[in-house]
Structure 1
Amino acid sequence: MSIIQAVNIPTAWQNADHDCALFVYRGDLEHPHAPGNKWHKLKYHLHAAKQAKAHYLATFGGPYSNHLHAFANTLANTSLPGIAVVRGELQPRLTATLRDVADAGIELWPCTRKDYRLAQRSELVAYINALYQGVYWLPEGGGGILGAKGCRDWAADIDYLDHECDAWLVSSGTGTTAAGLLAADKTPHLHVVSALKGAEAQAEDILSLASLVSDPVLDSASLRHKMTFHSDAHEGGYAKQSQALEAFMRFFASANPELPLDPVYGCKTVFHVVKKIHAGEWPHRRTLFIHTGGLQGWRGYRDTLNPYIASPPDSEK
């Protein structure tokens, strides 16, 4: 299976008068334990933990977190024990994601939303640091400078395989992946689509982080010029799905049965750009969507919402 694949735009969203082709870089196929952007955000943190001679690795995430899932699977193949601080109370019946995390040997710690917001400044983290000596803390989502550096390296890998697209397209949660891709000289124009509601200010955060890890030839003006930020694709908010998105995903899955998109990020990003193409508003002829993984996240949704399980639509009307 090729790691770069053409996307079949469902018939109802095609525009015969607007010559645009959409491709996907199948980052979800890259790494067995941390697919998509996850390994790239983790790798420099793991190196830093080793250099610091850490005895434990700890991080933060929600009950369906792709980051926690990748973190756990990665540590399961090392000698380092891990700690996961999970937002909210732990329920007697863990989510499928947290069951996998626990099965991988990661110790779960529940935390209040206040402590979660405070992260490494919280009383809970101070308590864990006192209880366990030599803890290396990874930011939520594997973010920060080290996470962005890993994604900057990833851009070189993607560019090596793609020389034909005039724009790249990536989803954004924390903005770390977008910042890293933007920081690479090889990256063409980058469209960043936020999955968060009210994320307009995130564009400046991405530019700021990118400037800290960017290739020397890129100054702040160059970074700003080659990024377009989309804050209007959240479809109701983080991890939410509108009826329009649900309908689109049924048609998309039918047209692309071997190309699964994740429910939180990828499906919204592709829906957004396909609507732009249909309206004749997309400015590029060949666009590469960077698939960042996260397919395990479908387990947090009812099966009836999962288009890769639910019955396909009868027709593309």
Structure 2
Amino acid sequence: MSFIQPIILSTAFQQSSNHQYTLDIYRGDLEYPNAPGNKWHKLRHHLKAAEQQNASVIATFGGPFSNHLHAFGATLRHLPFKAVAIVRGELQSQLTPTLRDMADDGVELWPSTRSDYRRGIESEIVGKINQRYGSVYWIPEGGGGALGAKGCHDWANDISAMDDKYDAWVVSSGTGTTAAGLLSNIHAPDLHVFSALKGEPAQRGLILDLANQLTAESILSAELGVKLFFHSDCHEGGFAKQSPALNAFMREFADVNPNHPLDPIYTSKSMFAVFKAMKEGSWPYRRTLFIHTGGLQGWRGYSNHTNPFACS
């Protein structure tokens, strides 16, 4: 089975567009079952660093439905580290499906107030965990930072090796770590990044800064801004929110692409934005690769009837 597979454009779409587009999907969600999509790639160098520092405890941050936390727990279950996670918001008596999986994987969950959580590594709860365990290796929220981006830089090599003839790549963005890693790779073509966050146009600069840290070639570094196209207006109402238009698109997409499920927070919104641009004839590329970053477990935070891929 190839990780690169074709996307079928609906009949209505083809009739409305005068352009001949080829849209393929890189099924990153089929990689590494414990940490699908971009999750393993963001974790791998952090895990090496923890081992090099002789850390016995690895800790990280995330929300109660976090894809990163879920992958963190499933991965650490098979490694000789104690896993600790700070969860945004007070833990409830009935854990979310994500947190139940983490507890089953042996992760120690620490609830955090939202105000303290926003302080990140400077938070009071981080101090308590460090005091309790001593040597703790901390992975940023979402598997971020330079090491997380480095893993995605390496991932770009794998993707390009399968087919290096695309005019553009498309990727969803939360922290921007994956986008920075892909962008920093010399093999990446034009990169369109669609943010799932509302009110984050400044993230483009953060992605560029992080990408620049990963490349020592001055010529390539100067070109990064030229091949980065950042979209901050495809959030469909805000993070984890779904508009009626997005829901209608997902149903239509699932009808013609039942074997290519999208997640509700990231990839569905990016795909919707690309389809709209293609339908309008404003998408400037003939051959595009959409990189699936995983996150399908996130559907468990929604009612079953809202998931068009569950019964497609």
TM-score (norm 2): 0.97
- Pair 1:37–1:215, CA change in 2 (3 A): farther
Once the two structures are superposed, residues 54-79 of structure 1 have per-residue CA deviations (whole angstroms, 9 ceiling, x without a partner) of 01000000000000000001001111
Return the offset for 1:182: 0.2
Partner of 2:291: 290
Partner of 1:9: 9
Whether 1:73 and 2:74 are equivalent positions in the alignment is: yes
TM-score (norm 1): 0.96
Return the offset for 1:11: 2.7
Partner of 2:222: 221
Partner of 1:315: none
Q: Distance in 2 between matches of 1:27 and 1:218?
A: 30
Alignment of 1:108-147 (within 5 A): 108-147=109-148
Q: Distance in 2 between matches of 1:105 and 1:16?
A: 51
Q: Distance in 1 between matches of 2:254 and 2:275?
A: 14
CA contact (8 A) 1:197 1:236 kept: yes
Partner of 2:186: 185
Partner of 2:101: 100
Q: How many residues align?
A: 311
Partner of 2:34: 33
Once the two structures are superposed, residues 135-181 of structure 1 have per-residue CA deviations (whole angstroms, 9 ceiling, x without a partner) of 11100000000001010000000000012211000000000000000
CA contact (8 A) 2:146 2:210 kept: yes
The residue type equivalent to 1:266 in the other structure is T
Q: Distance in 1 between matches of 2:233 and 2:201?
A: 9
Q: Distance in 2 between matches of 1:217 and 1:292?
A: 29
Partner of 1:272: 273
SS at match of 1:258: coil
Deviation larger for 168-177 or 212-221: 212-221
CA contact (8 A) 1:185 1:217 kept: no
Q: Distance in 2 between matches of 1:11 and 1:296?
A: 30
Question: What's the C-alpha RMSD, in Å, of the aligned pairs?
Answer: 1.1
Partner of 1:170: 171
Q: Distance in 2 between matches of 1:133 and 1:61?
A: 21
Partner of 2:237: 236
Q: Distance in 1 between matches of 2:73 and 2:62?
A: 11
The residue type equivalent to 1:265 in the other structure is Y
Q: Distance in 2 between matches of 1:300 and 1:13?
A: 30
Residue segments in structure 2 that go unaligned for 5+ positions in a row = none
The residue type equivalent to 1:86 in the other structure is V
Residue segments in structure 1 that go unaligned for 5+ positions in a row = 313-317
CA contact (8 A) 2:164 2:187 kept: no
Partner of 1:307: 308
